[in-house]
Structure 1
Amino acid sequence: MYIPRNIDSELENWRVAKLRKPLLLRGARQVGKSAAVRQCAQKFDFFIELNFDENPRYKGIFEQNLGIDEIIELIQAATNTPLVPGKTLLFLDEIQTCIPAISSLRYFYEKAPDLHVIAAGSLLEFVLSEIPSFGVGRIRSLFMYPLDFEEFLGAFNEQILLKTLRNASPEKPLPDLLHDKLKYYFKRFLVVGGMPEVVRNYAQNNDILETQRVIDDLIVSFESDFAKYKNRVPVARIREVFNAVVRQTGAQFTYSYPQATLTNVQIKEALDLLQRAGLAHSVTHSAANGLPIGAEINSKKRKWMLFDTGIMQRILGLSIGDLLLEDTLEVINKGAIAEQHVALELIKSQSPYQQVQLYYWHRDAKSSQAEIDFVVQKHSDIIPVEVKAGSRGSMQSMYIFLKEKQSRYGIRFSLENFSSLPSIMVFPLYAVKNAMHTQVPQT
């Protein structure tokens, strides 16, 4: 069972383009990169997949310092498949284990531009960081993540519900019946998460307890990968910081967490490794006085979000019953899972051709403290975003930000239906993409 992904349309646009560059699919392990390429391959007459991890002998094709014509000849001979421009898709999988193959991508662009070439790999970021200018201007990167909520709905063939959701807005709220149905799916999305294997299992078997066992398997595999991150960093060190990120989700990360055994430098190094592996995303403090938002950051103030809510809730041992049955998320790890969900949906709603940076705002005044969960840019506006784990909550920080920064409006995510308040647009937690793509209100 293949779950349709947003990336499918990008791959199709690349396939039919007259001018194209080799694609490099980047993202954490098990997010569906290989499956998406194989789905795209169905549009070609021929498909060649070289997996350097499963068959290390393929590395020899690229390690002999040969020209592209000779490489193409060897690939055809090794796979008994023709490499025909416009008709064959060449897929170089687990390419991080063959650095010469990464270097060859630029020469495919220069010497064989009519060929369709896609490369992908897990832990690819570690290799790319050590290859200066590996293909600037000659290779196009596509960043891939676990499923977003809309893709999750697609796994259950809820196309009509999805279309209705996409058409909803604060000016056009949903009927209560559909709002309740989407909340039903949303709560299950928090529990299941967006890892394709887990979602596929749940869609086919409708057994949420079995999905927890699948998540357990994934957690074991991710922790096994810690040894591959960097040879001189002990696995125990990375695991300690990984667990600290899980426990501190939704709060400014503190290096003096309980049972900490590491120095600040060691913790920062482990955080960097987790981010490169795609397992954690940073949310950095910004003064948010103007564009770009990243121009006034304080890198000492950061929140860290795990890359998947399903994995987070499993590690924390959150009550599945509370997640599914309660009409508020506030009593569940203080609502941090709602903030994590919004962070991940904000990342997934942006262009897949760039790595997304997230920011938040905090004012620590003696008489008036205020914090905004996220600040995002929409066109030339800086928009404050607040996340409420229930259907109510004070908006004091939002109004302080709006007045101080002279922003035209803010966005609030909660379990409420679509609606609006003075200078604030209200979106359900399941409709982050709607908020990012909605028309900016006119003054």
Structure 2
Amino acid sequence: MKLLQRKIDSILKEWKKNENRLPLIVKGARQVGKTASILQFAHSNYKNVVAINFVLQPKYKAIFEEGYEVDDIIRNLTLIDPSLKIEPTNTLIFFDEMQDCPACATSLKAFKIDGRYDVICSGSLMGINYQEIESNSVGYKEDYTMHSMDFEEFLWAKGYDSSFINSLYDKMTTVTPLTRIEMDILEKIFREYMTIGGMPAVVNQFVSNKNFSGTLKMQQQLLLDYEEDITKYAHGLDKGRIKNVYDHITVFLGQDNKKFQISKIARGARNREYVGTIEWLRNAGIINVCYCLSQLTLPLKGNYDPKTYKLYYKDTGLLVASLDEESQEDLRTNKNYGTYKGAIYENIVSDMLVKQGYNLYFYRNEKSTIEMDFFIRDAKSLIPVEVKATDNATKSLSKLTAQDGKYPDIRYGIKLCNKNIGFNGKFYTFPYFLTFLLKRLLSTNSLTR
């Protein structure tokens, strides 16, 4: 299988160029490609690489027993394995699966002050109190959150380069429709991405085989692995309740309003009994949480109801894999998304927004006369984003962008659907597959009218 190009590749190169670089913690859900990307970078840029996996090599947890002085750690490493070559200024020490040895995070301050060795840590952080790590290492570490592959990385895996992606961006900035062949090909690739998701092992299998053979089995195994992780790492919380929430995500996404309700996941369930469960799943990188805005004004942070939310799978391929066998067959064979059509499109848009750094917000007023799937912002405006699985009328989007003074922070909107690029004076229309370019587009204020 070929080595996949990832965005973290350039992040790691820039990190190494910084003469005052800090120890780096790469965190993210399991199987998003952290280890493979870091090892590829390490062996391409360092004479010596010391890679320690605390799950597969638990004996190395003992290297911190005498304290956190760098010389003591290095001596203990070479005591366990005398063949290790550790030279100052030309060695990267990679602590993998750090959730099984939180003590390695405490050592980062010592490594930074010492300065002779570069250090990268990675792990799912499911079993770690990350606040504790921050307090131990504040000012002496840098964090990077890695996601599963976004659609741009999926395009790279399919053979498309940056010049092609830049041409798509240019058409968005100039509101120039794509050609028919561009629409047809990109819609096909995007449907593949919706079904496959962005887990690199699954993508690699699909790209290498040029078909879906074996991919569903891999996805379903990942779902089982997540359930196992809940059992293993959910310390201090009711593991049964976390799993209950996890198991009901697909159920609520299949409903019209998609709002997640604790009271409906078990007889007599109460919100107070599930405190911390949603946060645990989000921090573990398993779900994305979308909160309901209290009012349609800026700023977004602090302007939402923490008790009203929707839950999405972090990776849409895992949502698809969670469906029943009949839906699976219909989707993969007939491209029919059935009951979950709206859910799948919303889920993938939520994931594409999060991978660009957005927090997720939606809105529904008390009378449900105005409903909007997502809200993002540019430098000056609150931007409603409507996700349409069909080409039905967009009454809510039209109301919000009416410029009648009711919503002064809203200057224009965005509609995502299976239609070409366009602008009607109130909102822009983009095909779903261009969602990955929104942050880049809005950061230049190119859409302001």
TM-score of the superposed pair, with normalisation by structure 2 = 0.89
- Output one character per residue of 1:321-376: Cα deviation in whole Å (capped at 9) or x when no partner: 446755x85x44141110110000001122xxxxx5211122223xx711111111
Q: Match for residue 142 of structure 2?
A: 140
In structure 2, the CA distance between the partners of 1:261 and 1:310, relative to structure 1 (3 Å rule), is farther
Superposed counterparts of 1:213-362, under 5 Å: 213-249=217-253, 251-257=258-264, 259-260=266-267, 262-317=269-324, 318-322=327-331, 325-326=334-335, 331-350=338-357, 356-362=358-364
Distance between the aligned counterparts of 2:88 and 2:383, measured in 1? 46
CA contact (8 A) 2:362 2:372 kept: yes
1:101 correspondence with 2:100: no
Distance between the aligned counterparts of 1:138 and 1:66, measured in 2? 14
1:382 correspondence with 2:382: yes
Superposed counterparts of 1:108-127, under 5 Å: 108-112=111-115, 114-124=116-126, 126-127=128-129
Aligned length: 432
Q: Which amino acid aligns with 1:17?
A: N
CA contact (8 A) 1:323 1:332 kept: no
Superposed counterparts of 1:69-218, under 5 Å: 69-79=71-81, 80-112=83-115, 114-124=116-126, 126-131=128-133, 133-159=135-161, 161-169=164-172, 171-218=175-222
Give the secondary structure class of the aligned counterpart of 1:359.
Answer: strand
- Output one character per residue of 1:129-161: Cα deviation in whole Å (capped at 9) or x when no partner: 444613222211100111111111211222265
In structure 2, the CA distance between the partners of 1:204 and 1:148, relative to structure 1 (3 Å rule), is same
Q: Match for residue 411 of structure 1?
A: 414
Q: Which amino acid aligns with 1:267?
A: Y
CA RMSD of aligned residues (A): 2.3
Q: Which amino acid aligns with 2:196?
A: V
Give the secondary structure class of the aligned counterpart of 2:322.
Answer: helix
CA contact (8 A) 1:411 1:435 kept: no
For structure 1, which runs of at least 5 residues remain unmatched after alignment?
351-355
1:396 correspondence with 2:395: yes
Q: Which amino acid aligns with 1:257?
A: K
In structure 2, the CA distance between the partners of 1:230 and 1:162, relative to structure 1 (3 Å rule), is same
Q: Which amino acid aligns with 1:395?
A: T
Distance between the aligned counterparts of 2:267 and 2:202, measured in 1? 32
Give the drift of 1:119: 0.2
Give the drift of 1:248: 1.5
Q: Match for residue 19 of structure 1?
A: 20
CA contact (8 A) 2:414 2:427 kept: yes
Give the secondary structure class of the aligned counterpart of 2:192.
Answer: helix
CA contact (8 A) 2:102 2:128 kept: no
In structure 2, the CA distance between the partners of 1:184 and 1:320, relative to structure 1 (3 Å rule), is farther
Distance between the aligned counterparts of 2:440 and 2:267, measured in 1? 41
Give the secondary structure class of the aligned counterpart of 2:430.
Answer: strand
In structure 2, the CA distance between the partners of 1:152 and 1:132, relative to structure 1 (3 Å rule), is closer
Distance between the aligned counterparts of 1:333 and 1:214, measured in 2? 21
In structure 2, the CA distance between the partners of 1:259 and 1:71, relative to structure 1 (3 Å rule), is closer
Q: Match for residue 436 of structure 1?
A: 439
Distance between the aligned counterparts of 1:131 and 1:362, measured in 2? 38
Give the secondary structure class of the aligned counterpart of 1:152.
Answer: helix
Distance between the aligned counterparts of 2:151 and 2:433, measured in 1? 7
Give the secondary structure class of the aligned counterpart of 1:369.
Answer: coil
- Output one character per residue of 1:212-263: Cα deviation in whole Å (capped at 9) or x when no partner: 1111111111111111232454544322211112222371111232655643
Deviates further, 41-50 or 243-252: 243-252
Distance between the aligned counterparts of 1:124 and 1:11, measured in 2? 23
TM-score of the superposed pair, with normalisation by structure 1 = 0.91
CA contact (8 A) 1:286 1:359 kept: yes
1:67 aligns with one of 44, 66, 69: 69
CA contact (8 A) 2:100 2:127 kept: no
Give the drift of 1:82: 3.5
Deviates further, 98-107 or 153-162: 153-162
| Identity across matched positions, percent | 29
- Output one character per residue of 1:180-201: Cα deviation in whole Å (capped at 9) or x when no partner: 1011011111111111111111
CA contact (8 A) 1:95 1:101 kept: yes
In structure 2, the CA distance between the partners of 1:261 and 1:93, relative to structure 1 (3 Å rule), is farther
- Output one character per residue of 1:18-56: Cα deviation in whole Å (capped at 9) or x when no partner: 111111011111111111101111222111101111111
Q: Match for residue 28 of structure 1?
A: 29
Q: Which amino acid aligns with 1:133?
A: S
Give the secondary structure class of the aligned counterpart of 1:384.
Answer: strand
Q: Which amino acid aligns with 1:97?
A: D
Give the drift of 1:83: 3.2
Give the drift of 1:395: 2.0
